[in-house]
Structure 1
């Protein structure tokens, strides 16, 4: 199958492939597991698996959850001949809170001025389709008022995100806050969720469960 699609996949230069490999290895060196993504071929993604029906961004490995690795040597081998996207499994080194661009900007402004300082600031990924992804410490569920709120999506075990400099048909994935800016530290999930709640309230979104001292939670009705 690769022989048939190689001419279309080869739109990235060898230098770009080396860049993808270098950055994927850097993630691995910091303990972030990596899995190769399907290669962008014009407006669709090709993973090389015969009969794969998925044309959007997706893992190149069929058993990607078992195959993901933080071993720099193993990660490097995946980019020796193919310009794979760089995908980061969630629910391992970190979880991800995904929101819209408008909410993401507001939440980031809240985080930057938060009295907890660096304890609430962490890496933030931005996709060219306008999704903002806050990397946080893994394991904590969403607050009750966010659990059924379609404005916030939590990526945990069994999910993944595209990482910079992966290219999507609309453009490259980038960092709004790079890991180096955050010193590769991850904030507490609930502190970032608090910032998202503040941003949602500022945007006029009604949250159905208020966790206020001395008050019982309201029935969950979504948002």
Structure 2
């Protein structure tokens, strides 16, 4: 059975079908994919991001990545968000940048999905993420 989350992710690659086949064949857990084509990424400090994810819940969030120590969470957001986002401590990846992405069905020690892509194209709404981050920061005493 084809993984629709995987299919959705590889659509940003220059040759999606060849890329997907190579990713599946080689068994690589991590690949580089370009941001700014179907999604941008906002990388939030771990403690703040985890709290914001708890506040928003997985129903309101699109795919969310984390590093091995959960020092940062990466929220996939609509294209163009990275260029407009203003926020202390939040890094962004948009057009012209690449991010490390784990396979949706394989675990990796360095990067993993907290909310894996489901293939629907659902992304985190930046306005809701901003509200969640403000609430999280208030609850964490300025984190």
- TM beyond 0.5: yes
Q: Which has the higher helix share?
A: 2
- Determine which of 21, 25, 37 is the counterpart of 1:92: 37
State whether residues 126 and 133 of structure 1, in contact with CA within 8 Å, keep that contact through their aligned partners in structure 2: yes
Count of residue correspondences: 137
Describe the shift of the 1:108–1:152 C-alpha distance in structure 2 as closer, same or farther (beyond 3 A). Answer: same
Q: Which has the higher strand share?
A: 2
Residue 188 of structure 1 deviates from its aligned partner by 1.9
Deviations 1:44-89 (CA, angstroms, capped at 9, x unpaired)? xxxxxxxxxxxxxxxxxxxxxxxx4252134424665684731222
Describe the shift of the 1:155–1:81 C-alpha distance in structure 2 as closer, same or farther (beyond 3 A). Answer: closer
Unaligned residue ranges in structure 1 (runs of 5+) = 1-21, 35-67, 207-223
Question: Which residue is equivalent to 1:174?
Answer: 112
Higher relative contact order (CA closer than 8 Å, sequence separation 6+): 2
For residues 183 and 26 of structure 1, the distance between their equivalents in structure 2, rounded to whole angstroms, comes to 8
Unaligned residue ranges in structure 2 (runs of 5+) = none
Deviations 1:127-175 (CA, angstroms, capped at 9, x unpaired)? 10322111111112114xx1xx1x211111122221124887xx24211
Describe the shift of the 1:183–1:71 C-alpha distance in structure 2 as closer, same or farther (beyond 3 A). Answer: closer
State whether residues 37 and 79 of structure 2, in contact with CA within 8 Å, keep that contact through their aligned partners in structure 1: yes
- Determine which of 131, 134, 142 is the counterpart of 2:85: 142
Q: TM-score, normalised by structure 1?
A: 0.51
Residue 32 of structure 1 deviates from its aligned partner by 4.1
1:162 and 2:100 aligned: yes
Question: Which residue is equivalent to 2:46?
Answer: 101
> CA RMSD for the aligned pairs?
3.1
